[in-house]
Amino acid sequence: MRSICVSRHKFATAVRHSGDPLDSTARPPESGDVSERIQQRVEIDGGVAVGVDGSASSLRALELAAEETRRRGTTLHVVRAWSMRTVPRPPDCPPGATPTIDEYETSVTDTLRHVVETAIGTEPGFPVEYHVAHSPSPQALLSASRGAHVLVVGHRGRGGFSGLMLGSVAEQCVRHAACPILVVRPSY
């Protein structure tokens, strides 16, 4: 049987006790499937939404979103989309163990909080809400744009002529966002 990261999670315990990691009867005691507990869309009501993935352009977007939030006197909504391909491994998970989806989500949230607090401080003078969605970046940002007053996203510059083109996430946001959008380069 494959090892599970930490036995403190009920799902990990259920799988370990079932003896068969593929047993479809091994379910967490919480209500609903894991897919029902993990946030896949971002729903906000007003404020400034910003996409942050830790890249230089997203950190610059965070700085400008914080300035805009301060000007408007509203809430900053920090959005981080993740997938199994982009998620950081939980630091407390031993080598060879498989983290649970809840542990991955916790790791993403903790990393996001650290990045944001490093960039704008622990008490920036306005409310900050974190939204971690298990979905593609464009889907998470576009769902946030439905309730935001403005959406701020980074643009990963490529330099030279190709640097004039938008990245795929920024382009999808520009084309489909339900609110005004600000696309930010890493520096200007």
Is the CB of residue 140 less than 8 Å from the CB of residue 81? yes
Residues 6+ apart with CB under 8 A from 7: 13, 16
Domains of the chain in start order, with CATH, are 1-37 (no CATH), 39-184 (3.40.50.12370)
Is the CA virtual torsion 24, 30, 36, 38 positive or negative? negative
Q: Is the pTM of this model over 0.85?
A: no
Q: What is the pLDDT of residue 75?
A: 98
Instruction: Please state at what angle helix 168-176 crosses helix 137-145, rounded to 10 degrees.
Output: 30
State phi, psi for 75 to the nearest 5 degrees.
Answer: -100, 140
Averaged pLDDT for residues 12-34: 38
Q: What is the pLDDT of residues 93-147, one digit of tens each?
A: 888 898 998 899 999 999 999 999 999 999 999 999 999 999 999 999 999 999 9
